[in-house]
Amino acid sequence: MSQLRRRCKQPLIIYGLEDIVKRLATAGGARADIQPKQSRLPGDVDVVASYNLSIGWNQESVVKVAYQAKQHEGISDEYGVKQIIDRMQSDPSFVRGCFVTTASSITDEARKLADQNNILVMTQKDLVEWVMMVGLSALR
């Protein structure tokens, strides 16, 4: 058993980025699910989150958000953005898309494509800010 493991009272938990996005969305009030990798629909979405923005007594307003998560170092290109756009075009129930990357930046082409298609981009810094805003307890 490693020295680190013996010093920790709780077991070491390693999360995939998709699981982190799901946990953060859930902590923000959404019902979120990680999507199966084998889908017959075009494109790709890793997490689907439904936010219920109820207004008044009986007004239900569900906002469905598609998250595409990429574990990249350095810079992300437009590939992941294209994946989420393709899926959103095949499923009009999505209100918004969000491209989440662990990279510190994205290419100009990726940024332009995201802006043109109503895709929010979250880079490494934005992801850390989301974690801090929601709280680390969401990852337990």
Q: List, for residues 119-133, the tens digit of each pLDDT value.
A: 999 999 999 999 988
- The position carrying tokens 């699981």 is 19
For residue 5, tell me if it sits in a domain: no
Contact 22, 47 (CB under 8 A): yes
Contact 99, 121 (CB under 8 A): yes
CA dist., res. 25 & res. 37, Å (int): 19
- Structural domain boundaries, residue 80: 14-139
Q: List, for residues 44-56, the tens digit of each pLDDT value.
A: 999 999 998 876 6
Residues of the chain under the 70 pLDDT cut = 1-15, 55-60
Q: How many domains does the chain have?
A: 1
CATH number, residue 116: 3.40.1350.10
pLDDT score of 56: 63
Task: Reduce the DSSP state of residue 80 to 3 states and report it.
Answer: helix
For residue 32, tell me if it sits in a domain: yes
For residue 4, tell me if it sits in a domain: no
For residue 130, tell me if it sits in a domain: yes
